[in-house]
Structure formats: structure tokens, C-alpha cells
Structure 1
Amino acid sequence: MTARPAPRLGERLLTAVSRDPLTVPHRTRNDAVFAAVVGVAGLVLALFVDDGRRPDALGWALLAGTAVPLVWRRARPGLVLVAVLLCVAPYHALDNAHAAPVPASLLALYTYAATARPLHTLFVGGGVIGIAVTVMFGVGAHEGLETLRTSGWILAVLVFGVDVRVYRLYIASVVGRAERAERTREEEAARRVAEERLRIARDLHDLLAHSITLIGVQTSVASHVLSVDPDRLDRAQIAKALDDIADTCRTARGELRTTLEVLRADGPDGDGPLPDLAALPGLVRAAGARLTLDAGEGALPPAVEAAAYRIVQESLTNAVRHGGADAHVEVALTRRGETLHVTVTDDGTASSGTAGTPSGPSGFGIIGMRERARSVGGTLSAGPRTDAAGFEVAAMLPLQPTEAAA
């Protein structure tokens, strides 16, 4: 594994400047080092720069008072600035070496400008310059004019602090947008996973419930033939029932293999072959139902064909399960304009019109069919027939994309 190159000095400086001062690790320790460096700089300036008298004991105490508060400059920038100014004003008024407290004063001003609002910085800068000029004119006209001349340094430090604050806010906004985009991508991935799980559950339910129900009915037919009159065994009918069971098993195995291939696909959308209306006659014939198919001219969207196939499959499953082998089921698919109408009706001879209801408290048949219809922007209704005994499932599936499908 190739080691990453160490960041350059400029990159390290930009990283340090762009950090929020309240989140920097070891900030108190680092500020203590800054305070010590500033204190030593003030000491050197007081001893070797001749722009005032050498400080006495009170002057040294005031000079130390300008450096010590800098230890907490990032935690309490406003209080530190006030403390520094309260020491600087009498220090200059006593005509001590005027260059000595400059580093501490400028660092305190920069810290406040980099953390406070620009309007507050403007007021503080004006106040500091006004106080400094007033105090120095009290010392002497020459000192006052010199302070007024060098006040540009104070403005430069304040502007630099405001610029750093704006830069930090910009970096924070960019990072915030990146984090929000990452959360959005994670939420989208979670949503797609949930939709894929729901699609898999629907496919497995439609496939296994339909095939197992047909196998159960066909097995019951074979068992009935064997038990009613063993002496007059209808071998042809038993052979037909067993052939039907074998055909159903082969169909279920093929569809299950297709579903598993889709699950193994790399794409999150599970792209793969979808059931279409071409397979519908075999499905209806295996269930002993009657089919009326009028798909019109032109190809239908694959998603609509898959939804129609699954709705018919689940409806036949419920009809056979609840209506028994003798139930009369009619399936009709008619294209009317830009809508495909799917209708599955049964006479409910064995269940008094409950053929379409899910079996047991955990049935998901009608729920799954409604989800299938909604997945392409359509609607589905299911309930007892009003004109006769039995149950009816009716779906309207639009052939054009809609907002509901999106």
C-alpha cells in the first residue's frame, strides 16, 4: 500500500486557519505557547526598543497582564480583549516602551475579529483606535500623531480577522453541504434497498403462493380419484393430475431461478427478465380459468405487463385456494386508449364470495396486488361482486408514466 505524501506547509496552514477555533484540539495548551511567545516578544521590545522609558515594577506587571490573558483568547475572546486593553491603556499612559505591548494587543484584536460578528468588530475597532489616540495625545502630541499614523495596522489586523472568519464560515458551509449530500445518498441507498426488499417479497409471494396452491389443488384431485372408487381407478385422470403437478413444478423452478439470478445481479435495481403477457395463457390454462385478452396494437411497457401478470397470478391463486378446483374463473385484459384494464372474477361456489381475500391474518395477496398496481401508477380494487356471487379483482394500469409511478 503506497503511503500518502505528507501535506505541504501551505496546506497545513490553510487547514489550521479553516478550523473552528472552539474545536481545535489542545487549544488551551497552544494558546499558552502563543502567550509565552508574545510575552517574550514584549520583553525584548521593552528592553531593546527606545521609544519610551524602560518599565518599572508597575510597568512590567501591566506588560505581563497583556500576555497572560491570551491563554484563554479563543475560549473568551471578548473578555481577553477587555483585559488586554485595561492593561495597555495605563501602560502607555505611564510612557513606558510603547512597542512592547503591540504584539499582545494585535493578537487579541485579531482573535476577536475572527470570532465576533463584523459589526461588533467595527465598533470595537473604532473604540480601540479612539482610546489609543486619546491616551497617546495625553502623553504628548508627537506620540498621539504617531499612534494615529500607525493605526492602519490595527485596521489591517481587524480586516484580516474578519476575512478569516468569513473563510471559516464558507468552509463550514461547504462541509455542511457535503455532509448533507452524503446523508441524502445514504438515505437514497436505504430507500432503494427497502424497495428492492419489497419487490423481492412480492415476487416470491406471487411465485411460491401460486405454484404451491396449484400443486395442492392438483394433488387433492389425484387423491380424490384414488380414494373415491379404488376399484375403478381412472389412470388417465391421475396421470393428468400428476403431469399438471410436474408442469407447475417446472414453471415454478424456472421462475424461481430467474428471481435468484436477478438477486445475484450487481445492479441495485435488479434488472432482469420480467414476466409478460405472452406467458399469461399458460398461467390461466394451468389454473383452469378462461382468458379474454385484447392488448390492442403496439407493445406495452414491460413494467405494465409484469404488473398485469402478477396481479392475474395472485388473483388466480386466491380464487383456486378459496374457491376450490370447481371454481369458475374468468380473466379479461382489455386495452382502452392508454389504459390496460385487468379483471379477474370467480363465482365463489366453495367460499361464498371470499375467493379474493387473503387467507389468515397474515395474508398479503391484495396488499401485494395494490402495490403492483401503484408501482406503475395504476389503481386496484378487490371485493365481492355486486351483480352475482363471487369475488372480483379489477385493476387499471396506465400505459404512460405518471407521478404516482415516479
Structure 2
Amino acid sequence: MQATITASRPGRTLASLDPLRQDALLAAALAALASGIAVTVGSGRHPDALGWALLLGLHVPLAWRRRAPFTVLAVMITLIAAYHQLDYNHSAPTAASMVVLYTVAVSSGPRRTALIGGAVVVLMLLLKIDEGVAGLTVSFQITGWVVSMLVLGGYIRVHRENAAAAVERAERAERTREEEARRRVAEERLRIARDLHDLLAHTITLIGVQTSVAAHVLEADPERLDRTAVAKALDDIAGTCRTARGELRTTLEVLRDPGTPDAARGPLPGLEGLAELAKSAAATVELTVRADGVPPAVGAAAYRIVQEALTNAVRHGGRTDLTVRVGVYEEQGGLCVRVTDDGVGGAGDGPPGFGLVGMRERARSVGGTVDAGPRSDGRGYEVSGVLPLGESAGGQG
């Protein structure tokens, strides 16, 4: 058994038609209204064949009133003037004339609307001046309608302009919010990349060095294995893994709750721990810290810069002597960070990585700068940076 399903099409409403068809229907409706008025009420004689041609013909241009309002006005005014001069029913074309005046006011600025309204009133007075006082009285009455239509059209125009401006402002605000959201996402991705690089690069480098130490101990003299040295190397590796796990947990907590306030000042985070980790990789570290309290963001940036500098020194310099100095100095305008080594340091022979870029991004994130390169005496490498503290720097040195 076959079933036939018929989909009912929704009826077409006036609002769904294009503007030309809407205005054509409006012109037809106004023409029908004018025809009824012409044979029933109003002053003047009933239209003859010429009168009907003028009355119905002046409604035709209304179909294009929104496309060419001034042309439509000129044509209709000419036909209406001829219609009134022949003394046909004077009330019949009133509705059509009001509609075209409203259209002109909606489409024009205030000055042009006022000029057109004044011209229409003057033309009407000229047509009615021969009728004496009665004609002037009717002219004043019609002038009231003309002014009313022009004011109404001007009000609608201003309302539409304000509505369009409000929509544009809302769209612009939405675009601004979207751009801000994209910018924040990009900044957050960059921050995550920096955190992961700083953490993983430092940890993997130290584990690699410590593993090499353990392997060297095992291979140096297999017959006389130094169990104590091997155990210490493995303990160092385990300690480095625990430190990395703790830092990773801290990083994830910050990423999950990025709204933690940074208003308070506190001690620099964990520089002693970084020095100890570098020492476990067979480097000697001289650490000097002269900062009692700094903003958390500045402290975190200093920590990451020192961490990356030590990582590069251990990776490229091997058994090197390192000097780390961090302090607040008024003449330098903030927290100064300086890491030097006596090896090849951050230079290296391999391809450039993200370490120096990451250090500079860390410094820029708090308004500071970082420079890195060979020392002036040619003995090793140096990383130096200045991180502003704001108006009040804690812990003057």
C-alpha cells in the first residue's frame, strides 16, 4: 500500500514579498481608496475619463517609491497639480500624496526634507490662492498634514539609523570580545609552551647528565664497582624526577586556576633547589640572592630564566663553574639576574632551540629584558636580565 505525503507550504505573507511587490500592492490599495472617495465624499466634481486617468495614473509611481523617491515625488506632484487644477474631487489623492511625502522624509536628511516640504507647501498655496479665504483655510489644514508626514518620516529615519548604529556597535563589541578571547587563548598556549619547555628541558637535561655519570661509574672499573657512587647517581636521578613531578603538579594547578591573584610579594622561589640540581650534574654553583620580596610574576620569571641558563650551561658546558647572582638594585631599576659560566655555556654547536626565546618571552611578560652571549673576556657565557618591580621594590640590596 502506498502512502502519499503532501507537505503543506506555508502561506506567503505581505512581509515575505520583495519591496517592489509590497509597494505595488500599496499603490493598488490606495488607488481603490481614492476611487471610493472620488465618487462619495469631498469637494470638487466627480472625475470624468481624464480625471480617472489622472487619479489612477498618479498612484502608479508609488510602486517604485523606495527605489527612486524623488523621481516618484516629481511625477506625482505634476499629476496631482493637474488633477486639482481641473477641479476634480480634491480629497481623493490626499492619501497617496501623504505616502510619497513620508517616503521622501524617510529617505532624506533633515535639510532636504525641510526644503521639499517648503516647496510642496508653496506650490499648494499657489494653486489655492485663487480660491480666496476658503482656499487659504484648506491650505493651512493640508499644511498640517504635510508637516505631520514629514516629521513622522524623519522620526522613523532617525529611529532606523539609531537601531542600525546599535546593531553595528553590538557587532563591533562582539568582534572585539572574540579577538580578545583569541588573544587570550594564544597567550595561554604560549604560557603553557613556556612552562612545559622550562620544566621538561631542565629536567631531561639533568637526568641525562646524571645518567651519564652513573654509566661512567659502571664502566670505569667493572671489577671494582663503586656501589656508593652508583647509588648516589641513581638517588640524584630519583630526586630530579621528584622535583620535576612537584613542578609539573604546580604548573597544572596554575593552569587549572589562572585567576590566582599576584598582588602579594614574597621570596624568590626555589633558586637554592636549582643550584643543588646543577651541582648534582657535576657543576659547581656559586649562588648569591639579594632580594627579600618580589611580586610573584617577577619571581617566577627570574626562576625560569635562571633555570634555563643553568640547563644550557650544564648541557653545553659539562663540568663547569657557574655563578648566579640575583638581586634588587635601585640603580638598575628592578630585579637583576646574572648567570655566568666558564665553559661554552649556551652557545653550543647544535641547532638553536627555544631556550633563549623562552627567556626573553619570560622577561617581556613582566616588562623586562634579557641578553645572552659570550662573556667579554671570551671565557664562557653570560645571561643577564633586568625585571622591573613597579613603584616599590622590596628587599633592597
TM-score > 0.5, shorter chain as reference: yes
Identify the residue that residue 301 of structure 1 maps to in structure 2.
Answer: 295
Identify the residue that residue 336 of structure 1 maps to in structure 2.
Answer: 329
Q: Give ranges in structure 1 of 5+ residues lacking alignment.
A: 1-22
What letter corresponds to residue 164 of structure 2 in structure 1?
A
Alpha-carbon distance change, 316 to 44 in structure 1, aligned in 2, over 3 angstroms: same
Q: Which of the numbers 206, 215, 225 marks the counterpart of 1:214?
A: 206
Taking the TM superposition and a 5 Å limit, the aligned residue runs for 1:3-402 are 26-137=18-129, 140-141=131-132, 144-150=135-141, 151-265=143-257, 267=258, 277-288=268-279, 289-297=284-292, 299-324=293-318, 326-337=319-330, 339-348=334-343, 353=344, 355-357=345-347, 360-361=350-351, 363-400=353-390
Alpha-carbon distance change, 82 to 358 in structure 1, aligned in 2, over 3 angstroms: farther
Moved more, 275-284 or 100-109: 275-284
> Is the Cα contact below 8 Å between 2:55 and 2:93 reproduced in 1?
yes
Alpha-carbon distance change, 359 to 68 in structure 1, aligned in 2, over 3 angstroms: farther
Alpha-carbon distance in structure 2 between the residues aligned to 1:287 and 1:70: 88
Q: Kindly tell me the number of residue pairs found equivalent between the two proteins.
A: 370
- What is the CA distance between 1:291 and its match in structure 2? 3.7
Alpha-carbon distance in structure 1 between the residues aligned to 2:164 and 2:374: 61
Can you list the C-alpha shifts for 1:46-94, whole angstroms capped at 9, x where unaligned?
Answer: 1111301111122112212222222222222222212221221111111
> Is the Cα contact below 8 Å between 1:73 and 1:111 reproduced in 2?
yes
Alpha-carbon distance change, 361 to 133 in structure 1, aligned in 2, over 3 angstroms: farther
Can you list the C-alpha shifts for 1:381-403, whole angstroms capped at 9, x where unaligned?
Answer: 1110002411100011111179x
> Is the Cα contact below 8 Å between 1:275 and 1:306 reproduced in 2?
no
Counterpart secondary structure, 1:88: helix
TM-score (norm 1): 0.85
Counterpart secondary structure, 1:396: strand
- What is the CA distance between 1:147 and its match in structure 2? 4.0
Alpha-carbon distance change, 192 to 56 in structure 1, aligned in 2, over 3 angstroms: same
Counterpart secondary structure, 1:74: coil
Alpha-carbon distance in structure 2 between the residues aligned to 1:194 and 1:358: 30
What letter corresponds to residue 273 of structure 2 in structure 1?
G
> Is the Cα contact below 8 Å between 1:341 and 1:396 reproduced in 2?
yes
Alpha-carbon distance change, 103 to 255 in structure 1, aligned in 2, over 3 angstroms: same
Alpha-carbon distance change, 188 to 155 in structure 1, aligned in 2, over 3 angstroms: same
- What is the CA distance between 1:270 and its match in structure 2? 7.2
Counterpart secondary structure, 2:207: helix
Counterpart secondary structure, 2:372: strand
Counterpart secondary structure, 1:345: strand
Can you list the C-alpha shifts for 1:8-50, whole angstroms capped at 9, x where unaligned?
Answer: xxxxxxxxxxxxxxx9973333323322222222112111113
Alpha-carbon distance in structure 2 between the residues aligned to 1:223 and 1:82: 101
Alpha-carbon distance in structure 2 between the residues aligned to 1:183 and 1:61: 56
> Is the Cα contact below 8 Å between 2:34 and 2:92 reproduced in 1?
yes
Moved more, 285-294 or 383-392: 285-294
Alpha-carbon distance change, 106 to 65 in structure 1, aligned in 2, over 3 angstroms: same
Counterpart secondary structure, 1:98: coil
Alpha-carbon distance change, 146 to 167 in structure 1, aligned in 2, over 3 angstroms: same
Alpha-carbon distance in structure 1 between the residues aligned to 2:260 and 2:87: 83
Can you list the C-alpha shifts for 1:158-194, whole angstroms capped at 9, x where unaligned?
Answer: 1221122122222222222222222212111111111
Alpha-carbon distance in structure 2 between the residues aligned to 1:323 and 1:102: 98
Counterpart secondary structure, 1:249: helix
* Percent identity of paired positions between Structure 1 and Structure 2: 54
> Is the Cα contact below 8 Å between 1:92 and 1:136 reproduced in 2?
no
Alpha-carbon distance in structure 2 between the residues aligned to 1:321 and 1:369: 16
> Is the Cα contact below 8 Å between 1:343 and 1:395 reproduced in 2?
yes
Alpha-carbon distance in structure 1 between the residues aligned to 2:129 and 2:114: 23
What letter corresponds to residue 234 of structure 1 in structure 2?
D
Counterpart secondary structure, 1:125: helix
- What is the CA distance between 1:218 and its match in structure 2? 0.7
Alpha-carbon distance change, 361 to 88 in structure 1, aligned in 2, over 3 angstroms: farther
Identify the residue that residue 19 of structure 1 maps to in structure 2.
Answer: none
When the two chains are superposed, the root-mean-square deviation of aligned CA atoms in Å is 2.5
Alpha-carbon distance change, 31 to 55 in structure 1, aligned in 2, over 3 angstroms: same
Counterpart secondary structure, 2:173: helix
What letter corresponds to residue 359 of structure 2 in structure 1?
M
Alpha-carbon distance change, 91 to 358 in structure 1, aligned in 2, over 3 angstroms: farther
Alpha-carbon distance in structure 1 between the residues aligned to 2:62 and 2:49: 21
Alpha-carbon distance change, 357 to 49 in structure 1, aligned in 2, over 3 angstroms: farther
Alpha-carbon distance in structure 2 between the residues aligned to 1:373 and 1:24: 60
